[in-house]
Structure 1
Amino acid sequence: MKSIGLIAANDLRRQFFQPFAWILLALTSALLAWQFLIAFDAYLRIAPKLDAVANSQGATDLIAVPLLRALSGMLMLIVPLATMHTLAGERRANTLPLLQAAGVRSFDIVTGKFLGALALVTLIIAMAMLMPLSLQLGTHLDLGRLAAVAFGLFLFAMSLSAIGVLCSAWTAHPVLAATAALIIGSLLAMLDMGARFQGIDNALINWLSMSTHLEPFFLGLVASIDIVYFLLVTVLALLFAARRLDSLRTRG
């Protein structure tokens, strides 16, 4: 466990010593802030009309949830960028054999790299959450629903991070790792799109799709089956990544 923590802390520290992490945070914040301000302005324009309608939607439905839903789409790109150097960068710099020679288990290396990348992505989610939460100063928000959305986004990002680490373990080229992670994540997210167009929403292909398990969180629903799904994807991806490192260790 100590080696996992050291690897994760070192990876996170190294990311912030380079401009890439700061640029990623700045661009993501700018895009979300732009969308937040547009949605907030539109809400202010229609707020007087909403007051006259019984059971009308409020700031949670019209500003917060759409903003965080947009973040889920952005995570499809952000996470592969955040994870592409985790193991591919080590292999390209020929530093991975040093970790392996130090007696650190492959699964510990993979888990440490995963936690380091996930910490950066979690920071992005936290920054995004602060925008709608600022509305609590002047209006009523459904904080329970926002907590469910935040939890769902974290689980979603966790699965994408594990997939990104897996792709990074299979190549020494970070750009190729990011591309593979983006494709795999997109396929998993849109896996059941054709089935839904045909009215199929309760088949195996629906259960395998990430969007099926993420959507309930936006409605404020936290179900154990959705949590188990994201945990299963994460664990399987990390196990396959560790196995890949074991094969690299054996081949020397």
Structure 2
Amino acid sequence: MKTLGLIATNDLRRQFLQPFAWILLALACALLAWQFLIAFDAYLRIAPKLDAVANSQGATDLIAVPLLRALSGMLMLIVPLATMQTLAGERRAHTLPLLQSAGISSLNIVTGKLLGALALVALIILLALLMPLSLQFGTDLDLGRLAAIATGLLLYAMSLTAIGVLCSAWTAHPVLAATAALIIGSLLAMLDMGARFQGIDNALINWLSMSTHLEPFFHGLVASIDIIYFLLLTTLALLFAARRLDSLRTRG
């Protein structure tokens, strides 16, 4: 556990010592703040009319949920950028053999890398959540639903991060790793799109899609099957990444 913490902390510190992490964080916050302000302005315009409608939607539905749903789409691009240097950067700098020679198992290495990259992504999710939560002082938010969405986004981000670490383990070129992670993540997210167009929503292809398991969280539903799916996807990606490092260790 101490080894995982050291790897994760070192990776996170190294990210923030470079301008790229700050630029990524700033751009993500700027885009989210822009969407938040637009949604907030639209809500203020229609708020007087909503008071006269029974069971009308509130700030949670009209501001928070669209913002966090947009964030889920942004994570598809943010996570590959945050993970592309995790192992590809080590290989490119020829420092991976030093890490492996320290007696750390490949699984511990990839898990530590996952935690380091996920910390940056989790910070972006936290900042996005703080925007609608700032409205709690002037309106009633569904905090339980927001907590469910936050849980879903963290699980979703964790799976994407594991995929990014896997792709980074397979190449010494960070840009190639980011591209591969973006493609794989997009395919898994939109895997069942064709099936849904055909009216199929309860087949194996639907279950394999990440969007199928993320969507219930936006409705405030936290189901064990969805949690297990994201944990399983993360575990498989990490195991394949560890196996890749083992092969690199064997080849020297």
Classify the TM-score, shorter chain: over 0.9
**Gaps in structure 1 of 5+ consecutive residues:** none
Give the partner amino acid of 2:108.
D
Cα distance in 1 for partners of 2:145, 2:99 equals 43
Cα distance in 1 for partners of 2:152, 2:101 equals 38
Cα distance in 2 for partners of 1:158, 1:101 equals 27
SS in 2 for 1:55: coil
Cα distance in 2 for partners of 1:21, 1:62 equals 30
* Percent identity between the two aligned chains: 88
Structure 1 runs of 4+ off > 4 angstroms? none
- What residue in structure 2 maps to residue 92 of structure 1? 92
Cα distance in 2 for partners of 1:33, 1:180 equals 29
1:173 deviation in Å? 0.2
- What residue in structure 2 maps to residue 243 of structure 1? 243
- What residue in structure 2 maps to residue 48 of structure 1? 48
1:103 deviation in Å? 1.0
- What residue in structure 1 maps to residue 10 of structure 2? 10
Cα distance in 2 for partners of 1:153, 1:106 equals 27
Cα distance in 2 for partners of 1:106, 1:223 equals 32
- What residue in structure 2 maps to residue 30 of structure 1? 30
Cα distance in 1 for partners of 2:229, 2:24 equals 28
SS in 2 for 1:111: helix
Cα distance in 2 for partners of 1:184, 1:171 equals 15
The alignment status of 1:145 with 2:142, answered yes or no, reads no
The alignment status of 1:60 with 2:71, answered yes or no, reads no
- What residue in structure 2 maps to residue 161 of structure 1? 161
- What residue in structure 2 maps to residue 232 of structure 1? 232
TM-score normalised by length of structure 1: 1.00
The alignment status of 1:210 with 2:210, answered yes or no, reads yes
1:47 deviation in Å? 0.5
- What residue in structure 2 maps to residue 222 of structure 1? 222
Cα distance in 2 for partners of 1:134, 1:41 equals 15
**Gaps in structure 2 of 5+ consecutive residues:** none
- Work out the number of aligned pairs and report it: 252
